[in-house]
Amino acid sequence: MGMGWCVALIAVGGILTFAVDWHVDGVNLPLVGLMLMAAGILGLAAYISIFKRRRTQPPPPAAPVVEEDHRFVR
Protein backbone atom coordinates (compact mmCIF):
# COMPACT_ATOMS: atom_id res chain seq x y z
CA MET A 1 0.00 0.00 0.00
CA GLY A 2 1.47 3.33 -1.03
CA MET A 3 1.41 6.60 0.80
CA GLY A 4 -1.48 7.87 -1.32
CA TRP A 5 -3.70 4.93 -0.43
CA CYS A 6 -2.93 5.38 3.26
CA VAL A 7 -3.84 9.07 3.17
CA ALA A 8 -6.99 8.23 1.21
CA LEU A 9 -8.02 5.65 3.84
CA ILE A 10 -7.49 8.22 6.59
CA ALA A 11 -9.54 10.81 4.67
CA VAL A 12 -12.41 8.45 3.88
CA GLY A 13 -12.43 7.20 7.47
CA GLY A 14 -12.54 10.76 8.79
CA ILE A 15 -15.42 11.60 6.47
CA LEU A 16 -17.38 8.52 7.55
CA THR A 17 -16.69 9.17 11.22
CA PHE A 18 -17.24 12.90 11.50
CA ALA A 19 -19.14 14.20 8.46
CA VAL A 20 -21.75 11.59 7.54
CA ASP A 21 -25.06 11.29 9.32
CA TRP A 22 -26.46 8.38 7.33
CA HIS A 23 -28.15 5.54 9.16
CA VAL A 24 -27.67 2.13 7.54
CA ASP A 25 -29.26 -0.93 9.09
CA GLY A 26 -26.63 -3.34 10.39
CA VAL A 27 -23.65 -1.03 9.74
CA ASN A 28 -22.14 1.36 12.25
CA LEU A 29 -20.59 3.95 9.89
CA PRO A 30 -18.63 5.85 12.55
CA LEU A 31 -17.00 2.58 13.63
CA VAL A 32 -16.20 1.68 10.01
CA GLY A 33 -14.66 5.13 9.64
CA LEU A 34 -12.52 4.64 12.73
CA MET A 35 -11.32 1.28 11.44
CA LEU A 36 -10.41 2.82 8.08
CA MET A 37 -8.49 5.61 9.80
CA ALA A 38 -6.64 3.08 11.97
CA ALA A 39 -5.74 0.98 8.92
CA GLY A 40 -4.52 4.09 7.12
CA ILE A 41 -2.37 5.20 10.05
CA LEU A 42 -0.87 1.72 10.46
CA GLY A 43 -0.21 1.48 6.72
CA LEU A 44 1.39 4.93 6.69
CA ALA A 45 3.63 4.02 9.63
CA ALA A 46 4.70 0.80 7.92
CA TYR A 47 5.32 2.60 4.62
CA ILE A 48 7.42 5.30 6.28
CA SER A 49 9.50 2.77 8.23
CA ILE A 50 10.20 0.74 5.07
CA PHE A 51 10.88 3.89 3.03
CA LYS A 52 13.27 5.17 5.69
CA ARG A 53 15.11 1.85 5.72
CA ARG A 54 15.48 1.94 1.93
CA ARG A 55 16.87 5.47 1.93
CA THR A 56 19.72 4.77 4.32
CA GLN A 57 22.87 4.15 2.37
CA PRO A 58 25.81 2.10 3.54
CA PRO A 59 29.09 3.94 3.87
CA PRO A 60 31.09 4.10 0.65
CA PRO A 61 33.58 1.29 0.26
CA ALA A 62 37.19 2.04 1.01
CA ALA A 63 39.43 2.76 -1.94
CA PRO A 64 40.94 -0.44 -3.35
CA VAL A 65 44.53 -1.11 -2.49
CA VAL A 66 46.72 -0.83 -5.56
CA GLU A 67 50.07 -2.54 -5.37
CA GLU A 68 52.64 -1.42 -7.89
CA ASP A 69 54.97 -3.89 -9.48
CA HIS A 70 58.44 -2.30 -9.74
CA ARG A 71 59.94 -5.09 -11.83
CA PHE A 72 59.01 -3.44 -15.11
CA VAL A 73 60.17 0.10 -14.27
CA ARG A 74 63.25 1.21 -16.25
Residue 39 lies in a domain: yes
* DSSP letters spanning 36-69: HHHHHHHHHHHHHHHHHHHH--PPPPPPPP----
- Angstrom distance (rounded) from CA 22 to CA 4: 26
pLDDT computed for residue 7 by the predictor? 94
State residue 63's pLDDT score. Answer: 77
Domain count, the chain: 1
Q: Give pLDDT, residue 60.
A: 76
- pLDDT tens readout for residues 4-44: 999 999 999 999 999 998 888 999 999 999 999 999 999 99
Q: Which domain holds residue 33?
A: 3-54
**Predicted TM-score (pTM) above 0.75:** no
pLDDT of residue 72 exceeding 70: no
Indicate whether 1 pLDDT > 70. Answer: no
Whether residue 74 is contained in a domain is answered as no
The pair phi, psi for residue 27, each rounded to 5°, is -130, 125
